[in-house]
Chains A and B, each alone.
Chain A
């Protein structure tokens, strides 16, 4: 049953202006138009771009050094940002100062807002010094309070050492998101090369590679990671551990992509337009690069997008289990590991915020990937 919509309709040769635009639209334009109709995917895309911006400008966005501790501020709950003070006058955003007291019975430390101290929030304040991307020295932060060195603002609370959770989360975003991206790029290289070989040559090569993939996929991932991660020497610097963890993740990750690439290759090899190109005398290279690769480029992008959340989750679980990254490197998994005991869940639930970040990111990636996958083949129906 055919329903005619503009893109597939029987077009008269005399096209009007709007039609002409549609008829001359390249596949990327068509994909973009279709993608834009997928509201949730567009919103997810915006969220992801926002998260990557946060990751890119972590030093600037975080008000404090993630490692800077302040024992006096252990387990400070998230501070409320207010615009109206206790007298009812409207002010620019501010937080109250804190009075620290100890419950005489339970010996628990509690914090109460002290309405007499008003600490206004300011943009572009000077604070802890940092080297942006390890290159540019600066001390400018997006926001903060202009106060003495012992006063701090914890919009999302502090951990047991009095470190600002928001700052730590911002830095962790950088690590977690980049591991996803880097891991996927590595998987993609493995996947496209091995999958391409498998799909293009077929026959026994294909058979061997497919069985290898079956084998790799059949290994339970957690024990494999445990084994590989345990092999990493403890004294290695955090950056090297970071790269090796990424590599370990992509050793598993490539198999899925290789399957996608191989499947597309096999399907396209039988397409009439590929046969037609062969029949006009086009070389194998031309057929692969002019006809086959552009035909599944969009599918690959969609598959990649859907693979990133797997990577992020894998890193999070590894680190959560204490097998992946370790302090002082911050990642969502590392942060969650620190929130791993019952007392923190009960007394300082804000320490679970990194979990929220993980959920939001994974969902956003999945919705974006779904949208891309649906839009990927503008000629599908």
Chain B
């Protein structure tokens, strides 16, 4: 599969300002030298705990913030390639037709003062794709696509449940017929049965509209069902990338192992049998990360080397990258 989006050495440091003159006293390294490639038509999962920088990564790709450094190469359908980090205003607006986002919170991502028609129709209006009656027709089609009845388009968001709002949000993202959608915790706020419905919907839409997804979540059990490849993030850095199956069955980074082990399984026999890895302490502070490997204070396998030497992000096998000094020697447990 050809690449659609290449992320090269992406960095985003947020300055910490203090005092009257807003002097910069430090930086939060929210995204710190992250590189990965998303191929056309795949679902790329980005997993991490809160504060790992996964949402910031998505917003950088959408140009919600300017980057500190790095490249974001996007391959457009017409064969041209653009670097998202240095687009002019009108080029950026044109790019918005290719790249869209679905937000986590179905309650804050829809303007409560606009009707569904206005919300889903806004992209069409902004890009002069349709006007008047034509918008209504297109919005009706989009709502049908996401499994909502078109008659509801004159209602306001407060009339809908979380799952339905999330579908409205998906319809808005689809309006410009993009090739790439970043879904930031798109089902995390929903009840299980509703989350399952929306995951299935996202899968169906992917096939129908030829979409590529960046699926960002902290929930490993949902990401497994939707993503082809997975990247694990810890304190602004990628610690492991692999195909989903490989990563789940044969993780190479101790953090990935701990994450997988921590997921509560709906299986009481398993719960009583397994020995769970419980990490010590909390996620490191991205404004003041530990020396050496960022994970070493919580790692059960840390050696003296880990305390001083920062590990490089290395390729172990084709398609399997990991940031650990001991990737070859550790025998880590997967989900099986």
Contacts and interface: CB of A to CB of B under 8 A. Distances in A.
Q: Do chains A and B touch in the complex (CB under 8 A)?
A: yes
Interface of A: 7-11, 13, 15, 19-20, 22-27, 30, 203-204, 207, 271-273, 275-283, 286, 290-291, 294-295, 378-379
Nearest to A277: B122
Nearest to A206: B22
Given A10-B161, A277-B111, A279-B62, 4 more contacts: A11-B161, A23-B158, A30-B158, A279-B96
A272 B149 CA distance: 25
B11 interface: no
B86 to A, nearest CB: 18
Contacts of A277: 111, 122
A272 B108 contact: yes
Contacts, number: 95
B172 interface: yes
A26 B156 contact: yes
A272 B161 contact: no
A279 B101 contact: yes
> Taking chain B's interface residues, is the majority helix, strand, or loop, or is none over half, making it mixed?
loop
B64 A279 contact: yes
B110 interface: yes
Interface of B: 20, 22, 59, 62, 64, 92-93, 96-97, 100-101, 103-105, 108-115, 122-123, 126-127, 148-149, 152, 154-156, 158-162, 164, 169, 172, 175-176
| Residue among A19, A279, A290 having the largest count of chain B Cβ atoms under 10 Å | A279
Contacts of B148: 13
Contacts of B112: 27, 273, 378-379
Contacts of A279: 62, 64, 96, 100-101
Given A276-B172, A295-B113, A379 B159 contact: no
5 contacts: A11-B159, A20-B155, A24-B159, A281-B126, A379-B112
Nearest to B93: A281
A30 B22 CA distance: 41
A280 B20 contact: no
Contacts of B96: 279-281
A280 B156 contact: no
A11 B126 contact: no
B113 A282 contact: no
A24 B154 CA distance: 6
A271 B105 CA distance: 10
Given A273-B109, A295-B113, A280 B172 contact: yes
Contacts of A286: 126
B22 A280 contact: no
A204 B23 CA distance: 11
A277 B154 CA distance: 19
Given A23-B159, A204-B22, A276 B109 contact: yes
A211 B59 CA distance: 32
A8 B103 CA distance: 19
Contacts of A281: 92-93, 96-97, 123, 126-127
